[in-house]
Amino acid sequence: MSPEVTPVIVEYLRLFDSRTRQLILGAGATASAGLRAITTAHLARAFQSLGFVVALIPYVREFIRRRSRPELLAELDKTKRMFQEHQADIRNKLVDIMSGRARSLVAAMRKIDFDFPSETQKEVSPYMETLTKETTTFSRAMKRNLSEDEALQMMMMVFDSYSNQWLEAFSETTIRSEAGKARLLRDAQLFETKLNQIDGFGDTGKRIIDIVKNKSIPVKHADALARPSQDSARTANGMGSTTLSTAPKEEAAKR
């Protein structure tokens, strides 16, 4: 490799990094390539392409060190860091996308009255079906486009972002009846059953199930349920006492 070629290689690498950032993170591909949107699959492929270059740079560096201009090694090291930072930005973007979807679905969950009769009759909630479906689709996209280790790391970061959000959401959900508790438990069980099939999920599902199982029905609500029958009993007793108290007066009138 001639000394004149080495700087050009560094510039080409930086151009690749810059254009990739503009097209994917900058969404430039929606205009230049006619894409309707930048998907998680596009982000994953960009991440993988950057990783490919990062893996090649040490070999290029060693070749330059031996046969070309050693003074350019610092520039090559700087270029490698640029690629790695770009990868980190894409990884954070992917996690932010899934974390944002989780936040919107948590908001949908908080609007549900799980004790309402029409809710207790449902098998599971649409928000939970959406969450499990989108997460499974995301996981498949990561496995198709990333290495096994990178896909696992990505899913662990996503599930870490899920953990606090969903543990808090299930903890703060108020339940006033056994039917409502059973209804909420079905959502928790779907969360565990579907997402536990994905590597990196951890124990969040089991913890959520335990939270729901340990919920107790408020005593005041239980008293409210018992009060109508107690009032009916008092009314019946009152009517009986009135009948007995008027009996002597009726006998006196006949005499």
216 and 140 assigned to the same domain: yes
- Ordered alpha helix ranges (H), the chain: 5-20, 29-32, 40-67, 73-110, 117-120, 126-145, 148-172, 178-195, 204-213, 219-254
The helix (run of H) or strand (run of E) holding residue 121 is none
Amino acid at 215: K
pLDDT at position 103, please? 97
pLDDT tens-digit profile of 125-151? Answer: 999 999 999 999 999 999 999 999 999
Q: Note the pTM of the prediction, 2 decimals.
A: 0.79
86 and 116 assigned to the same domain: no
Number of structural domains, the chain? 2
For tokens 């997460």, the residue is 135
How crowded is residue 74: how many other Cβ atoms within 10 Å of its Cβ? Answer: 9
Per-residue 3-state assignment (H helix, E strand, C coil) for 144-172: HHCCHHHHHHHHHHHHHHHHHHHHHHHHH
Question: Which range marks the domain in which residue 152 is found?
Answer: 112-226
Instruction: Answer yes or no: is 239 within a domain.
Output: no
77 and 118 assigned to the same domain: no
pLDDT tens-digit profile of 38-97? Answer: 999 999 999 999 999 999 999 888 887 777 667 778 888 999 999 999 999 999 999 999
199 and 117 assigned to the same domain: yes
* φ and ψ of 176, to 5 deg: -120, 0
CB 211 within 8 A of CB 171: yes
Instruction: Answer yes or no: is 18 within a domain.
Output: yes
pLDDT tens-digit profile of 155-178? Answer: 999 999 999 999 999 999 999 999
